[in-house]
Amino acid sequence: MGLGRFLLTARGAGGGGHRHGLFRGGTIDHPRTYEVISTLAFAGKRGGSFARLAALSGARPGDRVLDVGCGTGCLTRAMAARIAPDGRVTGLDLSPAMIAYAGARGPASCSYVLGAAQDLAFDDGSFDVVVSSYAVHHVPAEARRAAFAQMRRVLRPGGRLMVADFRPPRGGLGRRLADALAGPAIAGDGTPGTDIDALAGMVAGAGFTIEAEGRLRPVTRYIRAVRP
């Protein structure tokens, strides 16, 4: 599949009827093409970038970790390195193709399940750490608050959330590109909850205490928070 067609055929989370670009949201059902694009987008620094996010999560050996919107499992595997030798990481994604791809590549400490961020099928307090990278903008805007409420529910008291997503460029060509590719999913349309800058508000609104916020060059924003 060519890049242009891939960008146009990532499916909406509500079913196959909606057409979105890669960055507009919904599931991604072509893991191999996603890998190529993602590797290029990180200009050869993808592994290091995910290792940094994994370190920022504060996960420790023995922790039980959930990776929401795990995709091909890059962060899931980076988290597995943090929680070794006896921790466990569960990767969750709404795309069966992503789950199959990630499942074929993860170490024994990783398992992968099909599911939606806004409807997590885990018991209360099941995890020490919940992480999510570049996936929140794929969750429908109206479901994002429910997704953060679910992440809080499945964390134990004192557990940590680390969420990272794209930070839109602030001006010039980059901003215009973000607008064209992502629309409100990333670039924002002024409506609360549709702009990724609303991330901190959604995390705090779900009852988390924000511990750290930061940026990773060139286009990543992350937040780490604790469940009181």
Ligand X SMILES: C[S@@+](CC[C@H](N)C(=O)[O-])C[C@H]1O[C@@H](n2cnc3c(N)ncnc32)[C@H](O)[C@@H]1O
Q: Of the candidates 33, 57, 133, 150, which one interacts with ligand X according to CB under 6 A?
A: 133
**What's the angle, vertex CA 12, arms to CA 167 and CA 35, rounded to 5?**
60
The answer to whether residue 134 forms part of the interface with ligand X (CB under 6 A) is yes
The answer to whether residue 155 forms part of the interface with ligand X (CB under 6 A) is no
Q: Of the candidates 79, 116, 120, 182, which one interacts with ligand X according to CB under 6 A?
A: 116
Backbone region of residue 117 per phi and psi (left: phi > 0; alpha: psi in -120 to 50; beta: other values): alpha
Whole-angstrom distance, CA of residue 165 vs CA of residue 193? 14
Place of tokens 């050869």: 44
The answer to whether residue 66 forms part of the interface with ligand X (CB under 6 A) is no
In the beta sheet, which residues pair with residue 64?
88
Structural tokens at position 174: 């980059």
Nearer Cβ to ligand X (12/169): 12
Instruction: Give residues 74-103 in contact with ligand X (rule: CB under 6 A).
Output: 74-75, 93-95, 98
Q: Of the candidates 66, 117, 120, 199, which one interacts with ligand X according to CB under 6 A?
A: 117
The answer to whether residue 185 forms part of the interface with ligand X (CB under 6 A) is no
Eight-state DSSP code of residue 44: T
The answer to whether residue 70 forms part of the interface with ligand X (CB under 6 A) is yes
Place of tokens 């191999």: 32
Whole-angstrom distance, CA of residue 59 vs CA of residue 190? 34
Place of tokens 């993808």: 46
- Residues in the interface with ligand X (CB under 6 A) total 22
The answer to whether residue 64 forms part of the interface with ligand X (CB under 6 A) is no
Nearer Cβ to ligand X (62/96): 96
Nearer Cβ to ligand X (38/111): 38
